[in-house]
Chains A and B, each alone.
Chain A
Amino acid sequence: MSAPLIPKVEAILVLDNEGQRLAGKYYGDFLKTDESGKTAEEMKTAFEKQIQQKISGIVARPDAAEVISVMGKAVVFCGGSNAGPNGDVRVVHVGPASESELVLAYLCEGMYDALAQLMGGTTERTMVLDNLELVFLLIDEHCDGGIILETDGTKLSAAVLLRDDEPMDPTMGGMPSQNQGVPQQQGIPQGVNPGDMTIGQAFRQAREQWLSSTGI
């Protein structure tokens, strides 16, 4: 029952409503080797399938992560919805069974908050899929090789968008596209355009503009 002295995360996953891994990272030796001769990827998929079986249908509030136990690991997650395949994604943190679930929940809520900020308030599957690179960066800023790097949602999203982590205007935490025209801050090198949009985003915005211009 004794806790590991240093809190470590064994996996961070971003799963869609059907349990598909959109992004994720496994740390340390967890699911690396197995006697049954399965590849790491097969084991991961099997593990995620087990997670999905247990969490499907459970919606966890962004500030109140849910806990389950899968294959002897403590699994904590935020998000999810009952809507179809395009519903909200879940952010899942996996830790050793002896890890404090509160610590894991704290981490998970922090990352979910950051994800929501980065995706402009929604954590819809397509939105996340369009901005996968931001998700990759978020995971990297959140956790380095299993050690927690940063937990604060606002700081995390700032770091992902290559903004300075000084305290800032809350309105800036929105969609990347809202940040166009923000004056370049000190400490940001040339060529940074935090408002860069993916093609998909640009398309959507154009479409919305067109629709609103037709008066509907």
Chain B
Amino acid sequence: MEGQQQDSLGMGSVMREVQELAEKFKDEEEEAYVSPYAHLEKAQVLQEARIFHDPTAVRENPRKCCTVIAQLLHLQNTGQYMTSTEATEVFFGVTKLFMSDDASLRRMVYLFIKDVAETCDPDDVIIVTSCLTKDMTCDVDLYRGNALRVLVRIVDAAMLGAIERYVKQAVVDSSGQVASAALVSASHLFTSSPECAAVVRRWISEVQEATSSPNEMVQFHAMQLLYQIKSHDRLGISKLVSQFSTRNTLRSPLALVLLVRYTAKLLKDEYAEGRISGSIQDGSQVAKQGYQFLEASLRHKSELVVYEAARSICSLEGLEPQDLSPAISVLQLFLSSPKPATRYASMKTLAAIANTHPRVVAKCNEDLEALIADSNRSIATLAITTLLKTGSENSIDRLLKQISSFLTEIADEFKITVVHSLQKLCLTYPAKHRILVGFLSNFLREEGGFDFKRSIVNSIVSLIHAVPETTESSLLHLCEFIEDCEFTQLSTQILHLLGELGPKTTAPARYIRFIYNRVILENSAVRAAAVTALSKFAAQCPSLRTSLMVLLKRSLIDEDDETRDRAALAVAILEDAMAKNPYVPPPEDAEAEDIAPDTPAVNDTAAYVLLGAMPLSFEKLERSMTAYMNTPVSMDSADELSFEVLPIVEDTPAEVAAATSTATADPISGLMEPTKPKEVVDPAAAVYAIPELASLGRAFRSARPVPLTEAETEYVVSCTKHIFQDHVVLQFTVQNTVDDQRLENVTVLIDDSMSDVFTASGEIPCSSIKYGESHNCFTILEKNPDADLVPSQFTCELRFSVVQVDPTTGEDEGEPYEDEYPMEDLEITTSDFMAKVTVPDFKSTWETLGNTNEVLEKFALQFKNKGDAVAAVIDFLGMQPCDGTGSVKPNTGGKPHMLHMSGVFVSGQQVLARSQIAMQGETGNVVLKIAVRSDDASVSRMVADCIR
């Protein structure tokens, strides 16, 4: 018994001891064990890579070689890139490994070559071609596919010709792996260069055959390549789509996804080219069949295909709600899928379609509300923003309640999305502005980062502009916000806004306290902004001047220079103005309606200095100044520099684009980086560089280059029109693409006999253009000052003498001979003489110009839709669209579109145009009514005549 006890004790202790030992061992092991990929040093691995040069080691220890290759790849992967020399050295080592028969090693070698091929000198890489070609033609499937994939990375079109036979065979190989590899390689080749694409095109029958492969991936890859090959052949694509959608031979869900996408693309093209108008059901045969296929795909067993079909249907234009509803039903089902990706994808599609068809999506509202609790916050945010679009006016209150509980638990990024949808909602239901603005201001008090706060402030500000009723309440909300705002940028922005809008409200005095608090409590930037805001109140409201002066004078001893300067300026100007026009308070007993409005007198200097806006933005002023300095004439002129003599600068293409596009950002895409303003190059710089042209003065504007030849011809010519006060300088940029020619004495002959307005008065030839170079030659047209501008066409011809040269050495061969080359006609229209310049306030400028020189016209034009018509009218006139009227808002239905445009004519007159564009029935007739105003009746007339 005792012994037993002792024994059991002994056993127990031994067990315990062993266990402890094991634990200890385990711990030690855990520490001692180091992964072969941890803490790799590049130098050390490169050292180890020398093993590749040792034939015995390679033969006996292929595993070691594999590990070293993997380590090299890992280095690449973690950003420790090899230099070009190191890569080349290792690369040569790796090529030695082809000696080994070890399959795993070979596989790693392939992988390495593929990864490194880009960083090495192509001439070095080429040496492995023969090894790879050998592997590609052997009978081991695993080698063949992989070797092929590596090989296409390094061959050029010429070498491809040599191995073409094998690749073509591989496409129809019985092994799926080989066939897939061949097809994918061909896809890469197809995009790599036009020469390779031409080779790949020849394999079309093999690719066609591969589409009926039993292997699903091969079907997919074949469908992919087949489309690439046929992508420019509309009929071919149409046949491809109808063939596969009716025959029903594709088994692979991915291949069917492709087919669905092709079908959708085809339908969109049909629509874009006008073969479908109205409902898709009464469209062409192709359209009908296509839609039927998409609809049938909604019942496929794979979710991939079903979703793709639903999404494609939703993306089609011009669909009637009943055509959409089967797709919506499918998406609605997906909303309750257990898979997050499915819910996310269908939610995203529904959110997009809710922009255009909120009523169709409204039937999903219950499911959407359930998704607000989704664990994936992207889905929840999409659901809530969609609900804001689909919900009716009376459901807003309930939704807001849900949002406020929801917002506290999501990231700032999503909050911003919600804020944007709230802003949109307020635009849709302006009657609800009180609740919505109040709601937004509540957010301002919540915790949140700068971007979140800024988006709220921006939303509130844009609502003030869109829904003026919100001004007073919004301003007070913002005032409260700056009382406790940690972001200087937002505070200054709000103070600026207060200065602009506050004085015009019914009771300006109540904002003063908020603003003055900033002067006492804030940092220097905010103080300066507050002082400016105060001075604006004083300038605008004479009744407040006396009290504001007291406040402003306190800032005269501010420790910050800027703040002090601003205060000093304001005080000086205001004192002066107050002395001239002292404020007379209305008599105590005056009736309310008798009291004159509290506005500054007409000749009030303070109002002029403190409230007047700059005639152009700082960025434009800078550009204008640069243009001024670039022209020798203006720098030498004795005139004083003033806004009037500064050259007119056009809006940059980016600004033009901003005015014409409907910017609707993806709701959950991340915050975009602010784009840096690009350096603007004066297009007329080339003209100023020619001394002979200096006497012409400063270019008024330069049109964008117009090609006069096709892009692939022997001589590629484009023309830039530079408009001067009395001349037009045509700058021809000529590129020589013939490698055995040099062009000399190049000029462009303009036939001016057809034009009454212009006469060709001079040419500046280009002395020599070598192969591959582009140079400019110029032709000067003189404008007849008495003739009115009418659109003129000129035939042009390139004249030059050709010197044959040896393409390799560049030496001349033989005598030069004269030659000529016809080009497309050049057109000079009235719009060329119009600079695109925005006016800050279209409405008031329009009123100021008055209707004395107004020209009214009415035109009937042929356009498919309002959008096209608007774009064409802008193009005809060459003017800048204003107030965001450059694009047609979606869903305006039959309402006519108002387009406001502004510009400056060559003679310096400001020109404004208001036009109304309306569709007449469904027939494609557009009625355009246009009114043009300027200082000069003949200019107005000329501009109105631009419409063709």
Interface residues of A (CB under 8 A from B): 1-3, 5-7, 21, 23-25, 35, 41, 44-45, 50, 60, 63-72, 76, 97, 100-106, 126, 129-130, 132-133, 136-137, 140, 144-145, 147-152, 159, 162, 164-165, 187-194, 196, 198-200, 203-204, 207, 211, 214-216
CA distance A35 to B678 in the complex (A): 11
In the bound complex, residues from chain B placing their C-beta under 8 Å from that of A7 are 254, 257-258
State whether the Cβ of B18 lies closer than 8 Å to any Cβ in chain A: yes
Q: Determine whether the beta carbon of B103 is less than 8 Å from that of A130.
A: no
Q: Determine whether the beta carbon of B315 is less than 8 Å from that of A1.
A: yes
In the bound complex, residues from chain A placing their C-beta under 8 Å from that of B846 are none
The smallest C-beta distance from A89 to any residue of chain B, in angstroms, reads: 13
Please judge, given known A-B contacts A103-B304, A164-B141, whether A65 and B341 are in contact too, CB under 8 Å.
yes
Q: What are 8 pairs between A and B in contact, CB < 8 Å?
A: A3-B311, A41-B81, A69-B670, A100-B304, A102-B342, A133-B66, A165-B177, A204-B33
CA distance A100 to B311 in the complex (A): 9
Partner of B101, one of A64, A129, A190: A190
Please judge, given known A-B contacts A72-B670, A192-B104, whether A101 and B184 are in contact too, CB under 8 Å.
no
In the bound complex, residues from chain A placing their C-beta under 8 Å from that of B19 are 216
Q: Determine whether the beta carbon of A72 is less than 8 Å from that of B340.
A: no
In the bound complex, residues from chain B placing their C-beta under 8 Å from that of A106 are 253-254, 304
State whether the Cβ of B38 lies closer than 8 Å to any Cβ in chain A: yes
- The interface bits of chain B over 31-49 (1 if a CB of A lies within 8 angstroms of the residue's CB, else 0) are 0010111100000000000
Q: Determine whether the beta carbon of A191 is less than 8 Å from that of B341.
A: no
Q: Determine whether the beta carbon of A149 is less than 8 Å from that of B668.
A: no
Partner of B344, one of A101, A137, A190, A216: A101
The smallest C-beta distance from B331 to any residue of chain A, in angstroms, reads: 12
Partner of A148, one of B36, B254, B262: B254
- Which chain A residue lies CB-closest to B672? A72
Please judge, given known A-B contacts A60-B340, A137-B111, whether A132 and B74 are in contact too, CB under 8 Å.
yes
Q: Determine whether the beta carbon of B142 is less than 8 Å from that of A6.
A: no
The smallest C-beta distance from B272 to any residue of chain A, in angstroms, reads: 12
The smallest C-beta distance from B239 to any residue of chain A, in angstroms, reads: 17
In the bound complex, residues from chain B placing their C-beta under 8 Å from that of A147 are 184, 187-188, 221, 224
Tell me what chain A mostly uses at the interface: helix, strand, loop, or mixed. mixed
CA distance A187 to B103 in the complex (A): 11
Please judge, given known A-B contacts A7-B254, A69-B669, A192-B102, whether A216 and B341 are in contact too, CB under 8 Å.
no
In the bound complex, residues from chain B placing their C-beta under 8 Å from that of A204 are 33
Q: Determine whether the beta carbon of A21 is less than 8 Å from that of B77.
A: yes
Q: Determine whether the beta carbon of A105 is less than 8 Å from that of B339.
A: yes
Q: Determine whether the beta carbon of A200 is less than 8 Å from that of B307.
A: no
In the bound complex, residues from chain B placing their C-beta under 8 Å from that of A69 are 378, 668-670
Partner of B63, one of A64, A70, A196: A196
Please judge, given known A-B contacts A144-B149, A164-B141, whether A23 and B35 are in contact too, CB under 8 Å.
no
Q: Determine whether the beta carbon of A24 is less than 8 Å from that of B258.
A: no
In the bound complex, residues from chain B placing their C-beta under 8 Å from that of A41 are 79, 81
Please judge, given known A-B contacts A103-B304, A144-B149, whether A67 and B344 are in contact too, CB under 8 Å.
yes
The smallest C-beta distance from B232 to any residue of chain A, in angstroms, reads: 13
Q: Determine whether the beta carbon of B345 is less than 8 Å from that of A100.
A: yes
Q: Determine whether the beta carbon of A104 is less than 8 Å from that of B258.
A: no
Please judge, given known A-B contacts A41-B79, A162-B142, A196-B63, whether A103 and B338 are in contact too, CB under 8 Å.
no
State whether the Cβ of B128 lies closer than 8 Å to any Cβ in chain A: no
Q: Determine whether the beta carbon of A199 is less than 8 Å from that of B36.
A: yes
- The interface bits of chain B over 303-316 (1 if a CB of A lies within 8 angstroms of the residue's CB, else 0) are 11001100110010
CA distance A100 to B254 in the complex (A): 11
In the bound complex, residues from chain B placing their C-beta under 8 Å from that of A203 are 29, 33
Q: Determine whether the beta carbon of A97 is less than 8 Å from that of B103.
A: no
- The interface bits of chain B over 95-118 (1 if a CB of A lies within 8 angstroms of the residue's CB, else 0) are 000001111100110010010000
Q: Determine whether the beta carbon of A162 is less than 8 Å from that of B103.
A: yes
In the bound complex, residues from chain A placing their C-beta under 8 Å from that of B108 are 133, 137
In the bound complex, residues from chain A placing their C-beta under 8 Å from that of B670 are 50, 69-72
Tell me what chain B mostly uses at the interface: helix, strand, loop, or mixed. helix
The smallest C-beta distance from A56 to any residue of chain B, in angstroms, reads: 13
In the bound complex, residues from chain B placing their C-beta under 8 Å from that of A164 are 141-142
Q: Determine whether the beta carbon of B340 is less than 8 Å from that of A65.
A: yes
State whether the Cβ of B847 lies closer than 8 Å to any Cβ in chain A: no
- Which chain B residue lies CB-closest to A44? B79
Q: Determine whether the beta carbon of B101 is less than 8 Å from that of A191.
A: yes
Q: Determine whether the beta carbon of A101 is less than 8 Å from that of B341.
A: yes
CA distance A100 to B902 in the complex (A): 43
In the bound complex, residues from chain A placing their C-beta under 8 Å from that of B315 are 1-3
Q: Determine whether the beta carbon of B257 is less than 8 Å from that of A189.
A: no
In the bound complex, residues from chain A placing their C-beta under 8 Å from that of B304 are 100, 102-103, 106
- Which chain B residue lies CB-closest to A69? B668
Q: Determine whether the beta carbon of A5 is less than 8 Å from that of B258.
A: yes
CA distance A144 to B149 in the complex (A): 8
In the bound complex, residues from chain B placing their C-beta under 8 Å from that of A5 are 227, 258, 261-262, 265
In the bound complex, residues from chain A placing their C-beta under 8 Å from that of B74 are 23, 132, 136
State whether the Cβ of B73 lies closer than 8 Å to any Cβ in chain A: yes
Please judge, given known A-B contacts A6-B224, A67-B344, whether A200 and B33 are in contact too, CB under 8 Å.
yes
Partner of A216, one of B18, B33, B311: B18
- Which chain B residue lies CB-closest to A132? B37
Q: Determine whether the beta carbon of B338 is less than 8 Å from that of A64.
A: yes
Which of A60, A67, A70, A72 has the most CB atoms of chain B within a 10 A radius of its CB?
A67
State whether the Cβ of B870 lies closer than 8 Å to any Cβ in chain A: no
In the bound complex, residues from chain B placing their C-beta under 8 Å from that of A188 are 103, 140, 142
The smallest C-beta distance from B483 to any residue of chain A, in angstroms, reads: 33
Q: Determine whether the beta carbon of B73 is less than 8 Å from that of A136.
A: yes
Partner of A214, one of B22, B33, B308: B22
CA distance A1 to B102 in the complex (A): 49
State whether the Cβ of B517 lies closer than 8 Å to any Cβ in chain A: no
CA distance A204 to B69 in the complex (A): 23
State whether the Cβ of B727 lies closer than 8 Å to any Cβ in chain A: no
Q: Determine whether the beta carbon of A211 is less than 8 Å from that of B36.
A: no
State whether the Cβ of B695 lies closer than 8 Å to any Cβ in chain A: no
Q: Determine whether the beta carbon of A129 is less than 8 Å from that of B37.
A: yes
The smallest C-beta distance from B259 to any residue of chain A, in angstroms, reads: 11
* Other A-B pairs beyond A24-B77, A211-B26, 12, CB < 8 Å: A3-B315, A7-B258, A66-B341, A66-B376, A67-B344, A100-B311, A102-B341, A150-B177, A162-B104, A192-B102, A200-B35, A211-B22
State whether the Cβ of B757 lies closer than 8 Å to any Cβ in chain A: no
In the bound complex, residues from chain A placing their C-beta under 8 Å from that of B303 are 102
CA distance A103 to B342 in the complex (A): 10
State whether the Cβ of B180 lies closer than 8 Å to any Cβ in chain A: yes
CA distance A50 to B352 in the complex (A): 25
In the bound complex, residues from chain B placing their C-beta under 8 Å from that of A207 are 25-26, 29
State whether the Cβ of B181 lies closer than 8 Å to any Cβ in chain A: yes
In the bound complex, residues from chain A placing their C-beta under 8 Å from that of B67 are 133, 198
CA distance A64 to B338 in the complex (A): 8
In the bound complex, residues from chain B placing their C-beta under 8 Å from that of A105 are 339, 341-342
The 4 A-B residue pairs with the shortest CB-CB distance, nearest first, are A105-B341, A133-B70, A41-B79, A72-B669
The smallest C-beta distance from B381 to any residue of chain A, in angstroms, reads: 10
Q: Determine whether the beta carbon of A100 is less than 8 Å from that of B257.
A: yes
Partner of B36, one of A2, A60, A200: A200
CA distance A159 to B304 in the complex (A): 25
- Which chain B residue lies CB-closest to A197? B63
Q: Determine whether the beta carbon of A102 is less than 8 Å from that of B254.
A: no
The smallest C-beta distance from B873 to any residue of chain A, in angstroms, reads: 27
In the bound complex, residues from chain A placing their C-beta under 8 Å from that of B217 are 149-152
Q: Determine whether the beta carbon of B257 is less than 8 Å from that of A103.
A: yes
For residues 188 through 223 of chain B, which have their beta carbon under 8 Å from a beta carbon of chain A?
A: 188, 217, 220-221
Please judge, given known A-B contacts A100-B307, A162-B104, A162-B142, whether A140 and B111 are in contact too, CB under 8 Å.
yes
CA distance A67 to B220 in the complex (A): 24
Which of A1, A70, A133 has the most CB atoms of chain B within a 10 A radius of its CB?
A133
The smallest C-beta distance from B672 to any residue of chain A, in angstroms, reads: 8
The smallest C-beta distance from A92 to any residue of chain B, in angstroms, reads: 13
State whether the Cβ of B62 lies closer than 8 Å to any Cβ in chain A: yes
Which of B62, B339, B341 has the most CB atoms of chain A within a 10 A radius of its CB?
B341
Partner of B352, one of A1, A25, A144: A1
